[in-house]
Structure formats: structure tokens, C-alpha cells
């Protein structure tokens, strides 16, 4: 039987410490894996959206993880033109699929 283990997505070290596995923590990086993944996603400076006509209006729907994060931040399922402008001002490139 193999021991439970977890590999850090940042430094690629494998830990067999049961607490690291349980909490998805990297002792070498001193960070939780979900924080490491979020930093990776947010460092990608491109967001992808899809424009669809609904209820007689053109709406912009998030397509990638970054776009979904921004939509959650504004507590919406779509991104308004104002939201897209603010996203671009933050240095992100908006790609329309």
C-alpha cells in the first residue's frame, strides 16, 4: 500500500506529511496549494469572454478562470462594458471568443 502524498504545483516537491496532504500545504513554499494555483491563474494577464445576445441585449459571459473570478468579484454572471474597461485598466487583455 502506498503512503498518501501531495506534490506542490509550484516547486514540484512531494510531501508525505499527513498534515500537508490533509491541508494541501507545501512546507517548502510555506503556502497552501489553492493560493499557489490562484496566483498562477491571476498572473495570466488574458481573460476570455463570449458575447451572446439574450433578452434583446448583448451580454458578455466569462469563459476562463480569470473571467469567472472577475465575475464573482462583481457578484454577477456576466461582465458589463464598465467591468471590461476596469479589467483592461488592470492590465489584462480581453479576448472575445
Query: What digits encode the pLDDT tens for the residues 45-58?
Result: 899 999 999 889 99
Does this model's pTM top 0.95?
A: no
> What are the beta bridge partners of residue 31?
26
What are the b/e assignments for 56-65, b being 16+ CB within 10 Å? eeeebbbeee
How many CA atoms are closer than 13 Å to the CA of 81, on its beta-carbon side? 2
Average the pLDDT over 32-37 and give the result: 87
Res. 19: pLDDT tops 90? yes
Amino acid at each position: 500500500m502506498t503512503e498518501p502524498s501531495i506534490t506542490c504545483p509550484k516547486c514540484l516537491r512531494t510531501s508525505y506529511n499527513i498534515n500537508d496532504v490533509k491541508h494541501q500545504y507545501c512546507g517548502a513554499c510555506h503556502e497552501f496549494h489553492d493560493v499557489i494555483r490562484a496566483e498562477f491563474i491571476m498572473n495570466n494577464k488574458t481573460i476570455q469572454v463570449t458575447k451572446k445576445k439574450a433578452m434583446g441585449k448583448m451580454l458578455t459571459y466569462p469563459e476562463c478562470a480569470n473571467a469567472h473570478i472577475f465575475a464573482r468579484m462583481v457578484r454577477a454572471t456576466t461582465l458589463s462594458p464598465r467591468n471590461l474597461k476596469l479589467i483592461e485598466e488592470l492590465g489584462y487583455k480581453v479576448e472575445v471568443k
